[in-house]
Structure 1
C-alpha cells in the first residue's frame, strides 16, 4: 500500500511484516532501483548485533528536549518517537568475523570488507540534524518501561516494512501492554529466522544491502549502479502529552554533535549547521544549564 508521510514523501508500506529483499521483489510493485539487475556481487545477509540506538534532531529539537527534560513525539499525525539502530565500528568488526568468508565475492574475500560499502546505516552523518542522542537499547527500554509500563516490560512487535526510492526501513513498534491497537502485529522474535529481533539487550539484524550504490567493472571502466539500502528503527508509542523523561546530566552525557548528510531532511526554517556551529551551540547550552560534566 502507498501513502504520503509527514515529510511529504510517497512510501510503500507493508503492515505487520519485515519483508526481505527477495520478498519485496515478489510483490507487484513498481520501483526504480529495487529490480536493478546489474548490481555487482556484494555480501548479503550480514548479521549485525546492535547494542545502541540514536535519536537525531536539529537545534530546535535540542532546545526542546532540554526544556522538557525528555523526548516527545512532535507530529500531530504520528504517535511515535523514533530511534534508529546505531551500529558501531566494533559491531561491524564482529559481524565481519561471523560472516562466512568463502561465500564472499573474490574481490571481498578478505577482512575487513564492510568498510567498502556506503549504507547510511553505517555512516556518522545524519539527514535529520546536528545533535545525536545515543542510548543503549536496555537504557531506553528501561526508561520507557519505568514511566509508561508500570509493573510490566514494554512489548516489541514487528510493525512495518517501508520502501522508499532507495531505502528499506524495518520498523519495530514498542508499546505498553495496556495499549491494544497493535495486538494484531506479531511479536518481535528473540531468535531464529527473520530480518531482525531482540534478545539480551541487543537487536540482531540481518543486513541485506550494505550500500546504496555498487561499482560494476566493465572492461577498464567503473559503472556505478544505484540500489536500495536497509536499516532498522524503533518506534516508541507515545500518547499526546507523554514525555520520555531523563535528567539533565544524563541527557548531556548522551548527546554529541554530528555532520548533516548532503541530502538532508531538515524542515525549514532550520538549516544544517557546521560542526563548529553545532559544537558552539551545545557548549553554550551546557554553560547556560550549569553542566560541569558529572561522571556516571
Structure 2
C-alpha cells in the first residue's frame, strides 16, 4: 500500500510497521518534508524539534556485526557460513562502532563546526560526543535481535564475498533504500555480485548517497540522529564545545546503516569454524518482542557459545 510521498507501507517479518522508499537515502530534514507527519502514531518522534545536538557527525567505520539468535546461530555453525534468509536472499550486517571511532568522529565534528580551530585546541577539548552517542547504533552490549554477535573487519568480509560470490571481481554497492519506523531511520546499502547488475539496476550506485561512502577499507557514515534519548544539548562557545543538561529529557528518532549482502539461493558465504568462533560474542537482549522468541538469558547464551566445537565431530 502506497503512503506519504513515495514510501510503501508494510508489516515486516518482525511484525513491525515500516515505510520503505526504494533506491534513495533521504536526509533527516528532507524526510520531515516528505512524510505526512499528521500520521501521529508513526511520526510522534520524527515530528519533534530537538534542541541543539551534534549533527551531522562523520564516523569512519572498519567493522561490521551480524546479530542473531540461538536457532540461527546453530544453522550458521552447521553450514559454516551465512545465507540470505529473506525472500530477496539478503544477509544483513550493521556497522560496529567502538569508542575509538567516536573519539575520531568528535575531532571531525570540531573541525567541521568551528572555523580555524587548531589541533592544539582540539586536543584540549573535554570529551563531549559520548554524551550524545546514546542510540542503539552505538551500544554493542545489547541488541534487539538476539544474544549472539559475529564481528568481522569490513575488509575481511568484503574479500570473502569478492572471492566466493563475485568470481574475484569487485562487489557492487548500491543504495537499496530508506526504511522508516516509529523511532528509527534505517539506511540500507545493497552489496551484490556484478553478475546481478541487471537484477539490481533499478537501485542507483552508492555514489549517489549523501550519507554513506564506501572507500574499500572503511565506510564513512554521516550520522544525523545519534541520540535516542536527549538528556543534554550542545553549546559552542568560541572554540569550545560544551553540554547543558536538558529538562525535561526528550526521546527522538535515531538513524543507522545496514549492509544487505545478496547471497544467492543455495549459496553460503563460508568461513571455517576456527574463524567463526573467535568472531562471536554474547550480548543482552534489549527487547524480546523483536527477536521472535528462542531467546536465552546472557548466562545461557555464554554457555551455549562455549559448547560450540571448532572441529567437526
- 1:131, distance to aligned residue in structure 2 (A): 0.7
CA 41–122 in structure 1, closer or farther in 2 if over 3 Å, else same: same
Match of 2:16 in 1: 9
Q: In the alignment, which of 62, 68, 91 is matched to residue 79 of structure 2?
A: 68
What runs of 5+ residues in structure 1 fail to find an aligned partner? Answer: 291-296
Q: Distance in 1 between matches of 2:265 and 2:94?
A: 22
Match of 1:259 in 2: 284
1: CA distance, partners of 2:166 / 2:246: 57
The one of 242, 248, 254 aligned to 2:267 = 242
* Partner Cα distance (1:70, 1:225) in 2: 41
Give the corresponding residue for 1:294: none
Secondary structure of the residue aligned to 1:100 is helix
Mapped to 2, the partners of 1:58 and 1:45 lie a distance apart of: 33
User: CA offset at residue 110 of structure 1?
Assistant: 4.6
Determine helix, strand or coil for the equivalent of 2:276. Answer: helix
Instruction: Name the counterpart of 1:187.
Output: 205
1:1-296 correspondence runs (5 A) = 1=7, 2-30=9-37, 31-37=43-49, 39-75=50-86, 77-100=87-110, 103=113, 110-117=125-132, 118-124=134-140, 125-179=142-196, 180-189=198-207, 194-215=210-231, 222-262=247-287, 265-268=290-293, 270-271=294-295, 273-286=296-309
1:225 Cα deviation after fit:
1.5
Structure 2, unmatched stretches of 5+, are: 1-6, 38-42, 115-123, 234-244
Aligned residues: 278
- Structure 1 residue 249 displacement after superposition: 0.4
Q: Is the 8 A contact 1:40 1:215 kept in 2?
A: no
TM-score, normalised via structure 2 length? 0.83
**CA 1:145/1:211 → structure 2, altered by over 3 Å: closer, same or farther?**
same
Instruction: Single out whichever of 27-36 and 248-257 deviates more from structure 2.
Output: 27-36
RMSD, aligned α-carbons:
2.3
Residues 210-253 of structure 1: CA deviation (Å, up to 9, x unaligned): 11121379xx9821211100000000112221211111101012
